[in-house]
Chain A
Amino acid sequence: MTAAISFAGVSRHFGDVRAVDGVNLKIGEGEFFALLGPSGSGKTTCLRLIAGFEQPTEGSVSIFGDDATQMPPYRRPVNTVFQDYALFPHLNVRDNVAYGLMVRGDAKAARRAAADEALALVALGGYGDRKPSALSGGQRQRVALARALVMQPKVLLLDEPLGALDLKLREQMQTELKSLQRQLGIAFVFVTHDQGEALSMADRVAVFNEGRIQQVGSPQDVYDRPETPFVADFVGASNVLPAELVARLTGTSAPASLRPEAISVGDGPLTGAVESQSFLGAATRIEVNCNGLVVKMLLPKANPVPRVGETVSLTWPSEALHVMEHANG
């Protein structure tokens, strides 16, 4: 199977800054793929390398097996939904959506019909005559989506697509994007710094840090079996136990991750004083200081909550401790 997108040893340097550093990556056809990482980790630069807004300093980018390294953006079979939507303010919604068809030279009636169809797909039928400035944030994003989809791209790129929306709208759009992707069957590549978003939407996730890929895998893999302390901490704010402690507990000298929700109060190997607690609604988060190692735990609502200052012993099921044997740090 040819990959929809493939990166071979791709680096992008800006002066001394290695925004992307030796990335190898394959994204399959019809895959919902997330590039996850903190800001400045190189995930957005990777997306821009696929779109063609950046050229790699080293390595090559292929799209469906064709080398696209030197291909300008307007020749690539991919389309982008921009973080700020980048709608053209001087055109109405329909002309915005039809823009790609217009520059391609489609007849006016044909592109009008295609634009209206794409607007109906994103539930904005009847909004064609409005100006983008007359729409809400969520509606603008749907217009940006329709404008990209009307080009029938082989890969759709989304740059922090939900970042500017409020919580309720974001959850709704997550579901809609997911079903849209299934319906169209094309690859969606989206950039996000929100691990919850990446885990809930993506088929596979690539976790970025400092220009490098830390781990690629399914959401379950990345969450349950992090390969590096960074992934453990960034995806789901796991506890990272140092190698010496893990050696004492399991006999293997390597750092290990321990999910906060897997820990409970009871007779266990770690003991410490409760440092803080914060009520989150469905659960309470507690930080326990065990000889300088601050262990985060998440207690579901039904459990009794220890007071701050109280000394507690912590326990967890043995399979919850994931030893990161290949971690370099």
Chain B
Amino acid sequence: MASSAPISDALWRRPNLLLFLLVTPPLLWLGIVYLGSLFALLAQSFFSIDEFSGLINYEFTLKTYSELLRASNFDILLRTIAMASAVTIAAAIVAFPIAYYAARYATGRWKAVFYLGVMLPLWSSYLVKVYSWKLILAKEGILNWLFETLHLAWLLEAYLAIPVLGGNSLSVSWTGTFLVFLYVWLPFMILPVQASLERVPPSMLEASGDLGARPGQTLRHVILPLALPGIIAGSIFTFSLTMGDYIIPQIVGTSARMIGQAVYQFQGTAGNLPLAAAFAVVPIVVMGIYLTLAKRAGAFNAL
């Protein structure tokens, strides 16, 4: 019989060729565009800037990194890491019950409602959501109105009087920045946690109860350890997205900068590309340390 599909036949006979054709374009993309730019960034961070001429001095030096330790710069690092940690912990706490419900109880229509509810906010522009939050949190916003209607304005004022957390209004406070980060990155925590809980067979929870564990003990000794890989996966998203973001803290929050804003300013207006690069390396290093610690603590044992 004459072959009517010579390409299919040829590829069927040489599966390695097919694999090569499939994998090469994405590998080139990852290798050159992604890893290449990452290395370019890393290289930049080891150069320095001439303070008088403003020109980049292409010689290996650790001077730029030492600048990170200057009080004003170091504050940016601490502030960003603290914010990313707070957002990640809060996201895990808020996401867990939602993910647990979706994985254990929701079926059919309710499962669809869950996915829609989690994904729907991702469909609208990130800027729209952030500006909506600015309106919600503003002094004339709906949250203030709600507190006043409930005669709880004193409570909000007492909270805003707390140093660091508070401020003139929620929309120019760290609490406001935190709330917006939490909202925007929450789906990235819910979905992996839900996926990890979905893989826990119901019989495993029954076995725990059967062996005498109260529901709280089952949660601590079985559900949480098995959900941990999902929580870690989610925290990689929330942590790194918070550390790199430069738009949310610019729109909602105080004038104090976070890493993303520092990178934006140093590579743009200030023209200090080496320092911007050094700032950008910090989140990568922090994530590396975080994952190493998580692995050592046995977070991936259930995989």
Q: Which of B202-231 contact A (CB under 8 A)?
A: 203-204, 206-214, 217, 221-222, 225-226
Cβ of B267 within 8 Å of any chain A Cβ, yes or no, is no
Q: Which of A193-212 contact B (CB under 8 A)?
A: none
Cβ of A103 within 8 Å of any chain B Cβ, yes or no, is yes
Cβ of B25 within 8 Å of any chain A Cβ, yes or no, is no
List, in ascending order, chain A residues with CB within 8 A of B132's CB: none
**Binary contact track A117-158/B, C-beta < 8 Å → 1, others 0:** 000000000000000000000000000000110010000000
Cβ of A102 within 8 Å of any chain B Cβ, yes or no, is yes
Closest approach, in angstroms, between the C-beta of A79 and any C-beta of chain B?
A: 6
For B207, B209, B301, which residue has the most chain A Cβ atoms within 10 angstroms? B207
Query: In which size bucket is the chain B interface?
Result: 20 to 34
A100 to B209, CA, bound (A): 9
Main secondary structure of the interface of B (DSSP, over half): helix
> Who on chain A is nearest to B207 by CB?
A86
Main secondary structure of the interface of A (DSSP, over half): mixed
Cβ of B201 within 8 Å of any chain A Cβ, yes or no, is yes
Cβ of A15 within 8 Å of any chain B Cβ, yes or no, is no
Cβ of A80 within 8 Å of any chain B Cβ, yes or no, is yes
Contact of A90 with B214 in the complex, beta carbons under 8 Å = no
Contact of A86 with B209 in the complex, beta carbons under 8 Å = no
Cβ of B302 within 8 Å of any chain A Cβ, yes or no, is yes
Closest approach, in angstroms, between the C-beta of B230 and any C-beta of chain A?
A: 13
Closest approach, in angstroms, between the C-beta of B303 and any C-beta of chain A?
A: 9
List, in ascending order, chain B residues with CB within 8 A of A89's CB: 226, 302
Closest approach, in angstroms, between the C-beta of B37 and any C-beta of chain A?
A: 38
Given contacts A82-B203, A86-B201, contact A51 B222 (CB under 8 A): no
Contact of A74 with B213 in the complex, beta carbons under 8 Å = yes
A104 to B213, CA, bound (A): 7
Q: Tell me which of B206, B226, B302 contacts A73 (CB under 8 A).
A: B206
A89 to B201, CA, bound (A): 11
List, in ascending order, chain B residues with CB within 8 A of A51's CB: 206, 210
List, in ascending order, chain A residues with CB within 8 A of B203's CB: 82-84, 86
Closest approach, in angstroms, between the C-beta of A140 and any C-beta of chain B?
A: 13
A147 to B302, CA, bound (A): 19
List, in ascending order, chain B residues with CB within 8 A of A80's CB: 206-207, 210
Q: Which of A58-99 contact B (CB under 8 A)?
A: 72-74, 78-80, 82-84, 86, 88-90, 99
Contact of B211 with A103 in the complex, beta carbons under 8 Å = yes
Contact of B212 with A103 in the complex, beta carbons under 8 Å = yes
A298 to B9, CA, bound (A): 53
List, in ascending order, chain A residues with CB within 8 A of B214's CB: 74, 103
Contact of B207 with A82 in the complex, beta carbons under 8 Å = yes
Contact of A86 with B206 in the complex, beta carbons under 8 Å = yes
Contact of B217 with A103 in the complex, beta carbons under 8 Å = yes
For B204, B210, B222, B301, which residue has the most chain A Cβ atoms within 10 angstroms? B210
> Who on chain A is nearest to B302 by CB?
A90
A74 to B209, CA, bound (A): 5
A84 to B204, CA, bound (A): 9
> Who on chain A is nearest to B200 by CB?
A89
A174 to B298, CA, bound (A): 38
Contact of A86 with B301 in the complex, beta carbons under 8 Å = no
List, in ascending order, chain A residues with CB within 8 A of B206's CB: 51, 53, 73, 80, 82, 86
Closest approach, in angstroms, between the C-beta of A110 and any C-beta of chain B?
A: 15
List residues of chain A with CB under 8 Å of any chain B CB.
51-53, 72-74, 78-80, 82-84, 86, 88-90, 99-100, 102-104, 147-148, 151
Extra contacts, 8 of them, besides A74-B214, A89-B226 (Cβ < 8 A), are A53-B210, A80-B206, A89-B302, A99-B208, A99-B221, A103-B213, A103-B214, A147-B211
What are 15 sample pairs from A and B whose C-beta atoms fall under 8 A apart?
A: A52-B210, A73-B206, A83-B203, A86-B204, A88-B207, A89-B226, A89-B302, A90-B225, A90-B226, A99-B211, A100-B211, A100-B213, A102-B221, A103-B208, A103-B213
